[in-house]
Structure 1
């Protein structure tokens, strides 16, 4: 995938986007969106208290998992400074809804996510394609051992079941990150995470007996993880994996490793508008509501300069990702299998 570096291509696109006013802040939009999510959050927990000791709480667990994910989308936007231009209000709001609200370390996740943005799908630099459990390339399969190697053989079948553990993984990683040197505002991050655990677990185990409380936790965190994973998986999984041999300019690095998902207003809301992944990666500080307006501009421009631009439906995006994962594991099922072909 090595290509000549042409930085001016992005500069011309950026001028078009700027002239269209698509990088301007949308404070009213975020005020309305934040208010609706806040109402859903507090309303959901009020419903939890009202329902009380009942098996209907398992449905409330699903509802609150959907709300938690929407809060996660807002924390994501704050991390990219899509809401506020300056760092201070972004950090305050991000920590309140991330650490305190849903129990995810906002500073740690934002740093990790920004490293992903800098080098999407890069084997050496993107933390999202590090072979922790799932492996993303045949080269990673060759180097794998232990659990990743065991999973990799049929990892396409393991993918969705493993997503039920994703929220738990993020909670644990949030605490583990606080032990690493260089973490800013460690005491504040820890205090807010512990406060989340206190109100969240305290409320659940106060209202529900132990058995129902544990089942509520499993369902709530499981659906939370699946929803998060199903939102982020279509964006890059199954797209080309880059190595140190690939010399791409910024525009091509972002576009060629990303996939858009079409589907109308419902898909936009359900995915936090991250279905416009190409535009988001090119302009990460663009307010989410503007991404759909940027999409036709970016697609036309990519066609003009001859850069492949992939958009597909939601179901097909999962199919592409799962086929890639299955093909990556082929050498373990058949030592003579060919390397996967990227879309």
Structure 2
């Protein structure tokens, strides 16, 4: 299939009349006279773009790095330069993740976060405005080109080993676990009534279901379990919004930022806890210089027990999800979240009443909260936090992530998030393959002098407090 496209100065064909966001530079550093050019694009059947080299404008890293603002965003992927300014608001992963990489090489993060490259390339094609000049390195000069090269070779090896192929049976068993737990809770209350012992027992069943639903929707948000992506997306909505009562879009946009800029303040929302907690070494200094003291932060490790652990899920995440759904007009998410409450009122309402059912829902979330908080924080909070350093992809994840020892219980209890290093390096890899690739990842780290951190589970929990 041959497609002939004209590329204006902005490189965006999403909307007509989009203004030119920057001058074009030839290899000699001089701007192109009219800042516009026509190129022919051939879309081969395998999804690759073949473009005559002489038709593309050449850019230096110095020029590309100037385009790093929300109103002017360029990315480099496989030495090709893309202007994503006019398209960023349509990005399925949210516009923030593109802005976080504006003016940088995004080759490895682009490959890491996308499952189907053939589809993504169709979006990229009209945004192409040029390529790196021949004398320019493929990454910014301060990055380790050998580490990047070795990591990309490792990824090709893992792809050849089919490590990115999901086993549907593995995930169907986990789906079955959630449905069985929910059904047992419903049967118990109908058979035994709403006594306090029964209420405690069904609360535990529902808590396990909530946590395992979190792990499943997390899997569904990253990888393709089903052949058709629409079924994958539908199942994520069911697990996140119908079984947990939270907005799927809110979660995906938030979680994408966490992955692309892990522990980078303020780009990673997971370490930006506002006025309540100050994490790492930089945030306390910032608040200290500004003489901001909402709370006695020297005691934050103590009030973490009474605020952070029990209230993350029932208060903070729920309020943030509701706020984002309504102010961003995610009406489909509103409908699915409503189905979560409707289902509980139908199931448990005849025994507990409306008010009692609401109390049951939030009691379950209260129990779930410490579990989720400890598991999600143990691999990042104790690790390095910093402002933007523009590290290469491998270093970003190794510096900011650690693992927890493997066991059958640890794997189930954490939803395989005890392999956070492997998960962050390869977000679209199904979790049942993490233990298989771990030796190869450790070998890469040893080869380049990167510390691969692994801890016992209880030590990892304790490090959150420390």
Q: Same fold (TM over 0.5)?
A: yes
Query: 2:379·2:402 contact (CA, 8 Å) conserved in 1?
Result: yes
Deviation at 1:211, TM superposition (A): 8.1
Q: Give the distance between the partners of 2:461 and 2:291, measured in 1 at CA.
A: 26
Question: Is 1:322 matched up with 2:461?
Answer: no
Residues 66 and 227 in structure 1, CA contact (< 8 A), matched pair in contact too: no
What residue ranges of structure 2 are gaps of 5+ in the alignment?
A: 1-140
Q: Write the mapping of 1:61-72 to structure 2, written as runs, cut at 5 A.
A: 61-72=203-214
1:36 matches 2:177: yes
Provide closer, same or farther for how the CA distance between residues 261 and 98 of structure 1 changes in structure 2, counting only shifts above 3 A: same
How far did 1:49 drift? 2.9
Q: 1:118 aligns with which of 260, 264, 279?
A: 260
For structure 1, the residue ranges without an aligned partner over 5 or more in a row are 324-343
| Per-residue CA distance 1:211-235 (angstroms, 9 max, x = gap) | 8656534431111111111210112
Partner of 1:228: 372
Residue 273 of structure 1, CA deviation: 0.4
Corresponding residue number in structure 2 for 1:310 = 453
Deviations along 1:266-322, one digit per CA (max 9) or x if unpaired, are: 100111001100000011111111111111221122112211110001111122221
The equivalent of 2:164 in structure 1 is 23
Distance 2:227 2:323 in 1: 29
Distance 2:175 2:461 in 1: 29
Tell me the equivalent position of 1:177.
Answer: 324
1:252 match: secondary structure: helix
The alignment's TM-score, normalised by the length of structure 2, stands at 0.64
Say if 1:263 and 1:51 are closer, same or farther in 2 by CA, change over 3 A.
farther
Q: Aligned-pair distance for 1:149?
A: 4.1
For 2:303, the equivalent position in structure 1 comes to: 158
* Inter-CA distance 84–154: structure 2 relative to 1 (3 Å threshold): farther
Shift of 1:264: 0.6
Query: What is the aligned counterpart of 1:98 among 240, 255, 261?
Result: 240
Q: Per-residue displacement from partner, 1:67-89 (whole Å, max 9, x unpaired)?
A: 11101110000000242365422
Relative to structure 1, the CA distance from residue 189 to residue 322 in structure 2 (aligned partners, 3 Å threshold; closer, same or farther) is: same
What do the CA deviations read for 1:135-171 (whole angstroms, capped 9, x no partner)? Answer: 2123312444999841532122222332211112222
Partner of residue 241, structure 1: 385
Query: Which segment drifts farther, 80-89 or 305-314?
Result: 80-89
Structure with bigger gyration radius: 2
For the Cα contact (< 8 Å) 1:3–1:247, is it kept in 2?
Answer: no
Does structure 2 retain, via aligned residues, the 8 Å contact 1:82–1:286? no
TM score, norm. by length of structure 1: 0.85
* Structure-1 separation of matches of 2:228 and 2:298: 46
Root-mean-square deviation (CA, aligned residues, Å) is 2.4
Task: Quote the residue 2:150 is aligned against.
Answer: 9
Identify the structure with the greater helix proportion.
Answer: 1
Distance in structure 2 (CA, Å) of the matches to 1:222 and 1:91: 28
What CA distance in whole angstroms lies between the structure 1 residues aligned with 2:291 and 2:414? 34
- Does residue 425 of structure 2 align to residue 282 of structure 1? yes
Higher RCO, Cα 8 Å, sep 6+ = 1
Are 1:135 and 2:278 an aligned pair? yes
Provide closer, same or farther for how the CA distance between residues 211 and 97 of structure 1 changes in structure 2, counting only shifts above 3 A.
closer
